[in-house]
Structures are given as structure tokens and as C-alpha cells.
Structure 1
């Protein structure tokens, strides 16, 4: 049984929070039977020596739960100390003791079948990303509630087939995601810059996913880039819908599982399932309180999906109007039109799904037949390898 060390340092994630709700600060038990992980605010920063990669950080402990790691707040007591060799001890959430001579507080979480891996120090690029997320968060969250973040593997289930979480950073993380979340597929939304900033061994992670029978798809979307997220959102939704449409349980992640992953999930709920935007966002945030999708990107993607399709929306609106009258349902022209827009977009993604499934079926049949033909050529058609095929 190996152990993996996770530490918490400078603020991260696309953690701009909804100013109209305090749900982001919801306290969630992260005990041994907890179904998922969550986040909690921390009361005050603890200064560390100048040799650290950040000038200050809030000490957080990480505990293994039934579904994921969680971040637990700690007070200014025995669990918190500054660096400099103080001979103190830190108490892990599970009751274990960590000898206290390190600059960062750590808590060991056991991971089955994983090699001992330590989260690498923050790179300059990763630090810049955390600072950008801190800037976004500061614009709408209560400054009286400072909180800081650094990567840990955590997730929340949004629908029966969609889980949103942070990124895996090692092959061992894939094992945890499969063993604990029961996933069949992964939709990775990170761009190459994300891999570089966090030093993520993507090839090794992809190989491990294949070994575990997990389909890993990737739609590269740039973090913090509103234009790129507007452009790539329909592509991400299409891939997600293709996976969900085949009955897979999909783990959707960006880097922190706060911005791009939640935006894609909101897009799926609205563009595919025809949910109202407000209901979709509320549904995602109720399951993952730190969710902060860029709604302006959603709006721009929606506008582009409807651009030049007025006649199609008009026909759908008439269709909905006639159905409404036949069933004695009250409504207005405005609601009919809005519902018609949702219907047109949903039908578009249904056509995408049909196309994607047909391509998969054809590719499967083609690969099967190609294998048969190659095998025949190698065996002379009688199942016995030919002389030329033996090297």
C-alpha cells in the first residue's frame, strides 16, 4: 500500500464565486464515508519563509474519502504553524500525526495500487494561473473570507452520467477515479499550456486509462480565454454527448474542475437536454459549489449556433405553438420562440450524435474487417503463417 502526498498552497482554480450565494462556503463533511469532496474557507494566511514558491499560504489538510480527496479548513491552533523548523506536530483529519518540521503541512492519503508520488513544486506558469484565478475570485467573493487552494484530486457527481472534477496528474490518479468513481470515460479539456504548467505526464495518464478500459477524449481549450472557450464549447459538448449517448459515465475535467469543465456541463444540460440556463447553473453549483462557468462564453456559443437559422426556428416555433394549443397549455409567442431556439439547438446536437455513432460503428466494422484481411494475407488464407510472414 503506497501513499501519495498532497499539499495545499497558493490560491488556484477558476474560483470566481457566485456573489448571490454563500453556497461556495458550504461546509461538507469529508469523513471516511463522504460521497465526494468539497472546499472550505480558511480563516487567515500563515506566513512562510521567503524561500518558498509563494509568499504566504493557508495550511490545508487533505483526507481520503470514499469518493475523492477533500480540502479541510484548519484553525490557528496546533494544526497550523509557520516554517522555520518549529518542532510541532500536525493532526491529519483522520487522526494521524505528521511530524512538524516541514514548511508545508501535509497529510498522507492512501491510494491503492499507485506508486508513491509527490505533487511537484509550483511552476511559474502554475503560479500565474493561480494568481489569475485569485484575481477573478476577488472580484465577486467576500474579501472577509480569504481562502487559498492548490491542486488535489477531487470531484462531484452532477448527473448520473456526468462527474466534474480536477485533473489527474499521475497514472495512479486514474486508478482512483476508476475504483472510487466508477467512470467509463474521461473528457479532458486542458490545453498544452496546462500540461506544461503542472508538469502533467499526459501520455502516461492516457496509457493508464487505456489499460483500465477507460476511453479518454480530449478537447483542448485555453484557460481564462473567453474567445477560445466560446469557440470550443460546442465541440466539447458534442464529444461529451457522444460519450454519454453511449451510456458511459464520464469524468469531465479541466485543471481545477471549476471553469471549463462546469461550462461544458452547463452547455450539455442546456443545449442537449434543453434545461433553462438558470436551472442548469443552479444544478451544477448545488453539486459542485466552486463551479464558475463563463456565462458570456455560453451566450456567444448559443448565438453562433442559432446564427442564420431564423427560418428553422420559426418552423419549430409554429410546431410548438400548435402542440401547445392542442394540449391546452398557456403560453406566449415569446416563450414559444425561446423554446423553439432550445429545440433547434438540441436537434443539432442530436444530429451530431447520430453522425458520431455512425462513424464509430463504421470504424469498428472497418477495423474488424481489416484485421481479418491482414490475418488472411499473413496466413495464406488457411490460418497457417506463410513463409514470407515469418521473420
Structure 2
């Protein structure tokens, strides 16, 4: 059962189509404000996957890009990592999509004008930032100026950084990031979740949130829901692994170690029973200092049929 949303904010929803991202496509919003843009290389959208990691195994799903590399090298590394044809165009402006009425996913903001636009046009009240400091430095972004503008506009800045092009980092950080995203949305924020290109880390967090906290029957359902709205290629296997980690974590705690996830394509962690979903949601909300039972009346992220 897929989660159905009403009228989404702005023009950022593609509905059920798998339309390619392009500067003129109505499915996303593109602004030429020295921000960023994601586009297709003129080829069709491909699915993305990554070999699962297991305790004690080799670190896989990692692609490195030097700080000295330019945009072409960055896009080459992204293509190698995600196995998708999408590119990041730093010069073409913000590019984002509405996933839920109160959740947008997109590229990094790089100017104070970007902060103003997201706040004034989309009503964003929480910037959910999954970048490392070095990512901003790589693109010459003045993080201090952006933070000052957020403070001036009353936009909260929640940081949950992941390493770029690193599936292990995504898997390990998802539980804490999803707990925070769930908290922000339950608190009534309109959240803009971003990484650099809005292609891996930020949609990965959003998909995990959808799978764990909403009524999607399978990981594929949650993955397809987001990628039909925003063409991208986050590591599905990292989300599957994090799901297994959440289920295996002792008591009410978030995971402290990775469990054996098996090889890519293993069905474990791709479906959740009502009881398993409630177990995950309880851990997420306890981690944020909340009583899970008291959260059930929240219209966003609530699990009502446990």
C-alpha cells in the first residue's frame, strides 16, 4: 500500500511518472541562483543498487573524489557510485521536488537567496543538511553566511552529515537521521532535505523515513514512490541493511553495530510487518526523547494500525 498525498507544494511533484530531470521539466523546480541542478545525460533512468555489507566484511560501495576535482570528475564519480546517468550542474540553480506536502528533497543551497526562496516560496522552516563541511568547501559555499540567513528567516538547521559516495556511511547514519527527520516533521516543520546533488544521501534518508514511518508494504514501494517524483539513485541496499540493523538492535536503542545483511537481492529487510514497523518507530522516537504512544495522534509519521 503506497502512501497517498494530497495537493503538494509548488510544482515539484511528478505524480507517478518517471520523467527525466531537465532544466525545463515541470516535474522539478530549477532556479538559476548560482545553486545546483541535476540532469539526465540524455539516457533513460536506471535503477541503482549496491552490494550489501556484513559485519567484519570489506568496506564496499565507496567511491572517492578528490577536493581538487571539478564538476566533470564529480559527476563521473557519482555515475560510478550510483550506476545512474544523472549529473549535478552547480551553475544552473536549485533543483528540488516535493515528496510529501511537508518534505522536499533537492540540491544544496549555495546562496542566501536560495534560503530566502525556499522559505518564501515553499514555506521551508527546517533545513535538513546531510553534507559534510568539506562538501560545502569543495563547492565554495559560505556555510556561515547561509546559517546566518537561516537564523534571520527563522529556518532551523538540522545537520546529519554522511560521507559522499559511501554506502556504508549512509547505512550507519540512517537510524539517527531518520529519527531526527521524523521528529522535525512531527513538530510541524516543512523540511528541505539536501546533500550536494540531492541524488544519494538526502533521498536515501527520505526513502528510509517513508519505509519505516509510513504504510509502504515494501522497500521497493517506498523507493519507487520517491524516485518517481525525483529521478535519483540512492543506495537501496544501504537502506535495506539499515532496516535489518534497526530490527536487530537490542531493546529500545538505535543500532550500535551492523548485522549480516547477505548479498544484494536478499529479501530480508525489504518488507515490514506491522509489529516490525512499530518496533522501528518506537526506537526512533525514544531516541528523540519522545513517548511513542503519545506520538500516535501526529498526522505525519504516525503508525496507527499496529
TM norm structure 1: 0.52
Shift of 1:296: 1.5
SS at match of 2:29: coil
Is 1:246–2:151 an aligned residue pair? no
1:35-71 deviations in Å (ceiling 9; x for gaps): 7327xxxxxxxxxxxxxxxxxxxxxxx768xxx9877
Partner of 1:287: 229
Q: Report if aligned partners of 2:178, 2:205 keep a CA contact under 8 Å in 1.
A: yes
Q: Which has the higher contact order (CA 8 A, sep 6+)?
A: 2
Structure 2: distance between partners of 1:336 and 1:72: 31
Please list every run of 5 or more consecutive structure 1 residues that lacks an aligned counterpart in the other structure.
1-20, 39-61, 76-121, 142-146, 311-334, 358-391
Is 1:186–2:127 an aligned residue pair? yes
* Structural RMSD (CA): 3.5
Q: Report if aligned partners of 1:274, 1:343 keep a CA contact under 8 Å in 2.
A: no
Q: Report if aligned partners of 1:37, 1:69 keep a CA contact under 8 Å in 2.
A: no
SS at match of 1:216: strand
* Cα distance change of structure 1 residues 308 and 216 upon mapping to structure 2, 3 Å threshold: closer
* Cα distance change of structure 1 residues 136 and 27 upon mapping to structure 2, 3 Å threshold: same
Q: Report if aligned partners of 1:272, 1:349 keep a CA contact under 8 Å in 2.
A: no
**Runs of 4+ more than 6 Å apart:** 68-73
Question: Pick from 9, 19, 23: which aligns with 2:18?
Answer: 23
Structure 1: distance between partners of 2:274 and 2:124: 33
Structure 1 or 2: more helix by fraction: 1
* Stretch deviating more after TM superposition (299-308 or 261-270): 299-308
SS at match of 2:105: strand
Structure 2: distance between partners of 1:220 and 1:308: 22
Partner of 2:98: 157
Q: Report if aligned partners of 1:237, 1:267 keep a CA contact under 8 Å in 2.
A: yes
* Cα distance change of structure 1 residues 133 and 189 upon mapping to structure 2, 3 Å threshold: same
Q: Report if aligned partners of 2:128, 2:160 keep a CA contact under 8 Å in 1.
A: yes
Question: Pick from 64, 80, 84: which aligns with 1:135?
Answer: 80
Equivalences for residues 140-219 of structure 1 within 5 A: 148-151=87-90, 152-219=93-160
* Cα distance change of structure 1 residues 212 and 189 upon mapping to structure 2, 3 Å threshold: same
Greater C-alpha radius of gyration: 1
Please list every run of 5 or more consecutive structure 2 residues that lacks an aligned counterpart in the other structure.
1-15, 43-65, 252-269, 293-306
Is 1:345–2:290 an aligned residue pair? no
Partner of 1:36: 28
* Cα distance change of structure 1 residues 222 and 69 upon mapping to structure 2, 3 Å threshold: closer
